[in-house]
Structure 1
Amino acid sequence: MTDLSIGQERAALAARAPSDLYRAVWRWHFYAGLFVLPFLISLAITGGLYLFRDPIDAFVHADLKQVAVKADAGHVPPSAMVAAALRFQPGTAVKFTDPATATSSAEVTIAVSGGEKRAVYVDPYDGRVLGALPDRGTIMWTIRTLHSLKYFGSFARALIEIAGGWAILLVATGIYLWWPRRQTGGVLTIRATPARRVFWRDLHAVTGLFVGGFIVFLAITGMPWSGVWGAKVNEWANGSNFGYPAGVRIAVPMSDEHLDHLAKTSWSLEQAQMPQSPSHGMAPISLDDAVATFDRLGLHRGYTVNIPTTAMGVYTGSVYPADLAQQRVVHLDQYSGKPLIDMSYGDYGPLGRALEWGINVHMGQQYGLADQLVLSAACLAIIVLCVSAAIMWWKRRPKGRLGIPPLPADPRVFRGLLALLAIGGVLFPLVGLSLLVMLALDRAVIGLRRPARR
């Protein structure tokens, strides 16, 4: 081979390398989109609705959750509200939720036969029962379980975890494909009209540029709720010291029951075990006394009180308002009424505070209406991103074929890309497993297409 031919071959390889890398990235971007887009649309719709859960619930369940303010009347005692609820729905009262606002009803959770729980709503001004729903039976709790796919069981929740990892891959590969390569349009502007494919390509690329950061943020901050990765990280981060940071737990007897099994709690306290009330040879304090203690300790309005049902149980007051600084869990000895554990956001470690902040922003709580509006705009943009991707693919695909982007001429270009995918797979095992499955399927597709070409 002459020096001239060697030089020409090297020049051809150098020119082909960027094209090969582009094809490899495009191919995996296509695979990521194929898997993630249905989940992204579902998450965007349900997540966008859940951002406004309080006003939506108040509107849909106005007959149960809203009451008229009676300025000349105070609230009846919590024990009277519980008694009214038990007359309406016999069973065992296990939880009392303080009215969050002057126009909010109180909520009494009652355990009935068969393990079912019912939420009974009571007017706090006159103790009148307004009605009942299954516990966590509001429209927004349904939306929440749909958002996490918890509605469909543990396997579906695992798919959400996988989708989160693939969404990050989708953004990373999308940024590479968007990166300007001498084109004058389609970077920050949209060319042509909806009749042409280039319009949908530009709409997809420009929208993805602006919403990509939100997708990564929402995917990462949603991971703590995942069934496998989130549960294992929570166990590793919070499973020692009974789930409480050093200095918070004092020398009190602890049970094997977890706080998360009894009451909705923050991510950082899911591993927290319940303290026990030592017997003092005295009668238990009343719910009214416990509520008065929580009021005196300054818990944010709308807190929930878990009522002890055993001789060793405790009164637990917990509240998770929009302001992270106001998050708090207090356990009271049911006999003396003294606080056994008083836990707030400031007691979390640096990792716990960072994760709780991310979760609070994810839920549209941390910065009030601004948080809700920004995230709802991001959810709308994600829907546009998914729809434009589907239309762009439909217009590009060959008739009767899936339209998988072509393989690079040099398959070695996949090595660097697969190394990056492997790193993500180590961090998120379910995602890594799904990457291996997709890689095997891709190899199978290549094997089937080669005989056809011959």
Structure 2
Amino acid sequence: MTNLAEPATEAPDKPTRRGSLRPLLLRMHFYLGVFVGPFLFVAALTGLLYIFTPQLERVIYADELTVPIGETKQPLADQIAAAQRALPDATLVRIRPGATDDASTQVIFSRPDLASSHWLTAYVDPYTSSVRGTLETYGSSQAGPLRTWLDELHRSLHLGDIGRLYSELAASWLWIVVLGGLILWWGRRRGKKQATGRRRLLGWHATTGTWVAAVLIFLSATGLTWSQYGGETVADLREALSWETPTLPSTASEHSGHSSGSSGSGSSVGADQVLNVARSAGLDGPIELTVPSAPGKAYVVKQIQNAWPSKQDSMSIDPDTGQILATLKFDDYPLAAKLTRWGIDAHMGILFGLPNQIVLALVCLSLMAMIIWGYRMWWHRRPTRTESGFGRPFPRGAWRTVPRPLLAGLITAGALLAWYLPVLGVSLAGFLLIDLLLGRRAQAKA
């Protein structure tokens, strides 16, 4: 909750008794709102643009994603062969049979000239084995060009690793700003003065922030898992606590020496039998077949339903015998791995479908409105019309009012956060340096 103004019931320049944390929170909240607010606004705006991209893609890429319903589906091997003819210079990686009668089969290829996690996908009519089109797709979600472009806009503003610092800065500070705003609002001095001007803005800002605080903290935490530097800390923590998502062995039997990833039908059993084995074993719903990548490797078949209830069971199948070699059920995942999966899917707006998307859209709009109200309150705090300058910060030296044990705890916590969240640490040092320079300039003018 980016509260940039102090409750009107308190005079900002009035001396505050010792033993109070509020003056320090007010000053920190002010600076965080002023300097981090633009980054949060951009993250909320780009996130809002991304939320409904699955529906947009179904409209924009309807020719590729949907097909006229026919009578009999062709063998999967024939569909793969048609896709390989359309993309002869690419290497087959995965196949996604259509999950509904009107869905195309997605045959996914890699190619050396593609960026990391980017693929070429051929969309094949399962009734005629004709290729309806090809698109460059991204990630495990098979995002199309539109969703990929907006995802990169939200993640890095299309500026590469340097651009990713903006989203990490926003995710690193969002939860701190929200918690600080909640403490300030709940601990305010309540009065019955008429709600006009700045007080009315403050009421809108704080009430809205209270309603969406839990979702904002959730988005901050899950956003950090994708961040460039903080994400490494999250990954190390998950590894140390054995919270990693389990993986399925993909090694086939010793005699599977001729299997390769060049074709979905070049092994003894072929993709069709692998699909039938997986379906017979209970892998229903949308699934994905990963073809053997080298001799001795197995097919890996995985459910890919991320919507609730999640279906993420997987199994490895011998490409020569069609025997199931290993099975990994989502129910057997560690709780932390399940929470990570659900958290990522909820952050992307796909866990609960349209209700999930609507909630995220409302939260993004709320955050943008709170930032605008916050800057408006900052403007209300500007000096008199005869003076120059913008809104005044809260008085310097607020840390002196904090009890020593609490201050020591805050410094320790700040140091630990700065160490494990480097972008937060560097920006915190920048805020302190700016504050110090402003203080020196004020002393020089006095």
Given the two structures, how large is their TM-score scaled by the length of structure 1? 0.79
For 1:319 and 1:231, how far apart are their aligned partners in 2? 27
CA RMSD of aligned residues (A): 3.0
Inter-CA distance 402–378: structure 2 relative to 1 (3 Å threshold):
same
The Cα of 1:434 is off from its aligned counterpart by: 2.5
For 1:338 and 1:152, how far apart are their aligned partners in 2? 47
For 1:356 and 1:53, how far apart are their aligned partners in 2? 20
Deviates more, 1:395-404 or 1:164-173: 395-404
**Contact 1:29 / 1:169 at 8 angstroms: preserved in 2?**
no
- Other-structure match for 2:103: 104
- Other-structure match for 2:161: 154
**Contact 2:19 / 2:401 at 8 angstroms: preserved in 1?**
no
Among 124, 129, 132, the alignment partner of 1:130 is 132
**Contact 1:23 / 1:408 at 8 angstroms: preserved in 2?**
no
- Other-structure match for 2:189: 181
Deviations 1:34-57 (A, max 9, x none): 343233223323333444333221
- Other-structure match for 2:315: 330
- Other-structure match for 1:345: 330
Among 132, 157, 174, the alignment partner of 1:167 is 174
Deviations 1:249-287 (A, max 9, x none): xxxxxxxxxxxxxxxxxx725xx4863224316762312
**Contact 2:122 / 2:134 at 8 angstroms: preserved in 1?**
yes
**Contact 2:106 / 2:124 at 8 angstroms: preserved in 1?**
yes
For 2:397 and 2:220, how far apart are their aligned partners in 1? 33
The Cα of 1:308 is off from its aligned counterpart by: 2.1
- Other-structure match for 2:45: 45
For 1:360 and 1:281, how far apart are their aligned partners in 2? 36
| 1:104 match: secondary structure | coil
Inter-CA distance 404–106: structure 2 relative to 1 (3 Å threshold):
farther
- Other-structure match for 2:59: 59
The Cα of 1:58 is off from its aligned counterpart by: 0.2
Indicate whether 1:279 and 2:279 are aligned. Answer: no
Which residue identity lines up with residue 335 of structure 2 in the other structure? P
- Other-structure match for 1:258: none
Deviations 1:351-381 (A, max 9, x none): 2223223223323333333333222222221
- Other-structure match for 1:268: 245
For 2:423 and 2:102, how far apart are their aligned partners in 1? 45
The Cα of 1:131 is off from its aligned counterpart by: 1.0
For 1:238 and 1:411, how far apart are their aligned partners in 2? 37
For 1:235 and 1:172, how far apart are their aligned partners in 2? 25
Of Structure 1 and Structure 2, which has the larger fraction of its residues in helix? 1
| 2:435 match: secondary structure | helix
For 2:15 and 2:155, how far apart are their aligned partners in 1? 46
Higher relative contact order (CA 8 A, sep 6+): 2
For 1:150 and 1:278, how far apart are their aligned partners in 2? 46
User: Post-superposition, which runs of at least 4 consecutive aligned residues in structure 1 deviate over 6 A?
Assistant: none
Which residue identity lines up with residue 245 of structure 2 in the other structure? S
- Other-structure match for 1:248: none
| 1:55 match: secondary structure | helix
For 1:146 and 1:341, how far apart are their aligned partners in 2? 39
Which residue identity lines up with residue 85 of structure 1 in the other structure? A
**Contact 2:302 / 2:314 at 8 angstroms: preserved in 1?**
yes
**Contact 1:162 / 1:430 at 8 angstroms: preserved in 2?**
yes
Structure 1 gaps, min length 5: 1-13, 246-266
The Cα of 1:181 is off from its aligned counterpart by: 0.7
**Contact 2:291 / 2:298 at 8 angstroms: preserved in 1?**
yes
**Identity percentage over the alignment?**
28
- Other-structure match for 2:272: 288
Deviations 1:278-332 (A, max 9, x none): 4316762312222222222232433222222321332222333213541123222
The Cα of 1:151 is off from its aligned counterpart by: 4.0
Inter-CA distance 38–175: structure 2 relative to 1 (3 Å threshold):
same
Report the count of equivalent residues: 405
The Cα of 1:172 is off from its aligned counterpart by: 1.8
**Contact 1:35 / 1:163 at 8 angstroms: preserved in 2?**
no
**Contact 2:46 / 2:150 at 8 angstroms: preserved in 1?**
yes
Among 407, 414, 421, the alignment partner of 2:395 is 407
| 1:326 match: secondary structure | coil
Structure 2 gaps, min length 5: 1-13, 139-143, 259-266
Which residue identity lines up with residue 207 of structure 1 in the other structure? T
| 2:320 match: secondary structure | coil
| 1:394 match: secondary structure | helix
- Other-structure match for 1:79: 77
The Cα of 1:168 is off from its aligned counterpart by: 1.2
| 1:110 match: secondary structure | strand
**Contact 1:20 / 1:408 at 8 angstroms: preserved in 2?**
no
**Contact 2:315 / 2:326 at 8 angstroms: preserved in 1?**
yes
